[in-house]
Amino acid sequence: MLNYKSRAVITCIAGLFIVALTFCSCGSNKEKNPEKKVVNDTISNELSLLNAAIKANPKEISPYLERAKYYAHHNKFNEALADVNVALDMDKKNPDAFIALSEVYLYSGKTQRALDAVKEARGLAPSDADVDVASARIYLMMSDYKQTFNALREALKKDPQNADAYFIGGLANEEMGDTVKAIDSYQNTVARNSKHYDALKQLGVLFSIKHDPMAIDYLRNAAHVRPKAPEPLYILGMFYQDNNEPDKALSVYQEILQVDSTFKLAQYNTGYVYLVYKQEFDKAIESFNRALKLDPEYVDAMYNRGYAKELSHNYSGARSDYEQVLRMKTNNDNAVKGLNRLDALTK
């Protein structure tokens, strides 16, 4: 059966990922501002691979369902439904197609339809553990933990080696605030599927938060599973950065940029390391320039470029950047403080 993750999976991962991405917009006090979102810098690569798989095997169901999952994860529900319908046209009694359909409905907020689709899958494959896992995903989205764990127990009765059952259990434990049990569940996931990308990445995130070096191996393994996905390496770079190993952080960010030079967070963090840890302001400015070329509205990059210019005694350039920050984000506290500093310096 295909392994599908619910929106709850992605939401939980994304939330922890944002925690891991917290970094500074430097000012005199080095105040911290979390990055609000992770840009989808690898979308085109992933979609291209899925399109190629369908082109190579146009009569196979699984590539369409994989692409449906991709579309659902990126809120393209019409496209996702179209791919599921192609699969159902090929085989109206394929339980995987109904599991995929449940995920599309789940992502679009239609939980009852998602449950109905799982019911259809259960009627076609009552002894299949993945149907129970699909139910658990839906209940997890509803924050019904009792039903989530009931469904997972049923799944593991049918298939004690079902990696996704342990993974969903990890997410549920994490949402309930028990990171010890969550880690145990994710490790059980990896013990049953050493290439379970989401479990490896989530373990990397949790151990990174604990400043535990075990994060390194988990994140490296996740990156090995998906070499074109920048997120595990980015979290690894943040781990080194947060543990005062700036050179290792820079090395990891360069790894990312060699694969995908458009990943703006790696460009930004490279600049941040040069600015804060190494005080190499020219290199910092170059990196912030590259980040701003990718995203001209990147407020943190604009502010920190101005701060690097200020520290380089390029006060007119710094003033210009701080003023631009205020045009992008009115009353930005860091920019106001920067302009006040400049006023005091240039009196």
**Residues 175 and 143 sit within 8 Å (Cβ to Cβ):** yes
- How far apart, in Å, are the Cα atoms of 34 and each of 17, 22, 211, 289? 11, 4, 18, 20
Is the residue at 99 inside a domain?
no
AA letter at 174: E
Is the residue at 8 inside a domain?
no
Is the residue at 171 inside a domain?
no
Whichever domain contains 285, its CATH number is 1.25.40.10
Which structural domain range is residue 300 located in? 246-347
Of 260, 198, 268, residue with least CA distance to 238:
268
Is the residue at 23 inside a domain?
no
Of 274, 332, 342, residue with least CA distance to 299:
332
Per-residue pLDDT reduced to its tens digit, 149-199: 999 999 999 999 999 999 999 999 999 999 999 999 999 999 999 999 999
pLDDT of residue 14: 38
Neighbours of 85 (CB within 10 A): 14
**Residues 111 and 105 sit within 8 Å (Cβ to Cβ):** yes
Is the residue at 13 inside a domain?
no
AA letter at 191: A
- How is residue 61 annotated by DSSP? H
Is the residue at 180 inside a domain?
no
pLDDT of residue 48: 84
Q: Which residue has the tokens 């840009």?
A: 39
Q: Which residue has the tokens 């197609």?
A: 97
AA letter at 275: L
Using only the alpha carbons of the chain, give its radius of gyration.
23
Low-confidence ranges of the chain (pLDDT < 70): 1-45
Considering its fold, how many domains does the chain have in total? 1
Question: Partners of 24 in the beta sheet?
Answer: 32
Helix (H, G, I), strand (E, B) or coil at 23: strand
Is the residue at 293 inside a domain?
yes
CA torsion angle 266 271 274 277 (round to 10)? -70
Provide the total of helices (H) and of strands (E) in the chain, helices listed first: 19, 2
Is the residue at 319 inside a domain?
yes
Of 218, 195, 224, residue with least CA distance to 205:
218
pLDDT of residue 73: 84
Kind of pairing between the strands at 23-24 and 32-33: antiparallel
Question: Partners of 113 in the beta sheet?
Answer: none
- Please give the Cα distance from 188 to 59 (Å, whole number): 35
